[in-house]
Each structure stands twice: as C-alpha cells, then as structure tokens.
Amino acid sequence: MNAAQELKVRALVVEDEWPARNYLVELLVASGLAEVVGAVASVEEAEEALRGASRLGLDAAFVDIQLAREPGDRAGLAFARRLRQQAPDVQVVLATALDEHALSAFELGAVDYLLKPFGEERALQCLKRLQAKLSRTTRTPEPERIVARRKRNLVFLQPEEIWAFEADERLTFVHTRHGRFDVDLSLTAIELSLGAQLTRVHRKWLVNAAHVRELMRGDNETMLFVGEGLHGEGPGIEVPVSRDRVVMVRDTLLRSAVGTRPRS
C-alpha cells in the first residue's frame, strides 16, 4: 500500500444545513479515508478555521456553494475562491444541488464537486482523488501539546489531560484538573486541530468525551459532568448541551460504551 492510500484526508466541511452537514460528515468518516477535523455552518466560522489551516494540517474543504445564512446566493463559492488564494495547499470540493455549477468548479480549480443528495460511492471516489494529491512530506504534524496562559506564564498541557474548552465573549478557556487557563485560539481553530478528540456539545463548548462522567437530563436542559468521579463526588465542571445536539452527544457517548439497551 502506498503513502497516498494510507493517508487520511483531513477535511473541513462548510454546510449550513445541519442534516446535509451531518450526513456528509458521516459519509467521509465511514469511508475510512478521511478525518473530519471541523464541520461549520457559516463563512465566519470557516474563516476562523482557515486562519489556522496551514499550521493545523488541513488538506481539503468541502464547501456548499449556497449558504442560506450568508448574503448572496453563492457565498460559499466566494469563500472557496478566497480559500484557493489564501491557502493554495488546501484542496476545494464544491457541494451543490445543481450540476450547472460544474463549470464554476472547473474555473475555480476545485479538485471535484459533489451533487446533493450526497452518495456513498461518489464521496468515496472524491476522497480517492484527494488522496492522490496528498503527500506525507507536505503535511504539518499534528500538535502534541496545547499551550495555555496563566497570568504571565505559559502552561503546556497534554491533549488527554483536557476536560473541555469554553468560549466566553471574546475569550477562550481550557478546563483541566489543574484549573482553568486562557487559550489564544478560537473554538473553531481548536476543533480543527484536535477535532477527532473533541465533541462540540454547544456553540460555546468543546468536550473531551473521555472525561465525561455523567449525562444529566432535566425537564428543560441537558448537562454533562466532565472531570473526575461523579457529579458532587469529584472535581469537575458542568457543561450545557444545546437542544439540537442532545441526540448526537448521547449517541457519541454510547458508541464506545456497553451496558444500555439500544433505542427503538
């Protein structure tokens, strides 16, 4: 097996429709040929990821041409053009519901385009095309440690030590058993860097699922207890789960666990 066949494509998905975004992520991951390091709904979030793309080892971006949340009918295409200019090493795959945009993809220099509804065979073909363009020698190594701030000091943390990342106003914090520290990166950039190890449970929270001890469901909200020991018995933090992510978070936690009956 050659290097191109062994190499997983590190991909960013930019798609504003949650069902389509989730399904495309599932297709890419299920192929075994890709690692989705970020899945975002807007150009603003995508541009946060782009600012760290070359440093964080992004290989490809799957971009929906029409993003309903953005001004203009082809905001995704405009973002893809900027991406090709600012990060030429990042390959672009356009996603569209209309095959008339194939010419736009060609003019842009996109490596491929996918028609909606996405299909497993077509996604696999696209990933193999991307793999052929990649080389291990050009990829930036994944970070081994996270650097945070404690007043004027720098704190170096192993990824497995981290409980969660939190965004609060314009600041980002990392939570660990050692305490809470400032981080200079946005949640989107962190997710792009450590995506496989973190789960987005809320627009303001990324959680290391390995440290989730309890899923707590109330009448109006769902919370996670993340840390050591159980809620009220050991050190940890309470993290809110947004309503639209409850099922996904529960399924993610149960995927690597046994002891409960499958839902009917």
Residue 224: DSSP 8-state: E
Residues 6+ apart with CB under 8 A from 217: none
Give the tokens for residue 130: 């991307």
CA 234 and chain centroid, separation: 30
pLDDT tens by residue, 9-59:
888 899 988 888 888 988 998 898 998 888 888 888 888 766 654 445 788
Helix (H) or strand (E) holding 200: strand 199-202
Tell me how many degrees the CA angle 223-196-258 measures, rounded to the nearest 5. 60
Beta pairing partners, 214: 225
Residue 76: which of 55, 48, 95 has the closest Cα?
95
Sorted by where each begins, the domain ranges of the chain are 3-138, 146-255
pLDDT tens by residue, 90-136: 889 988 877 665 666 666 778 888 888 888 999 999 999 898 887 54
CATH number of 3-138: 3.40.50.2300
CATH 2.40.50.1020 for domain 146-255: yes
CA distance 261 to 258: 9
Asked if 12 and 62 touch (Cβ cutoff 8 Å), the reply is: yes
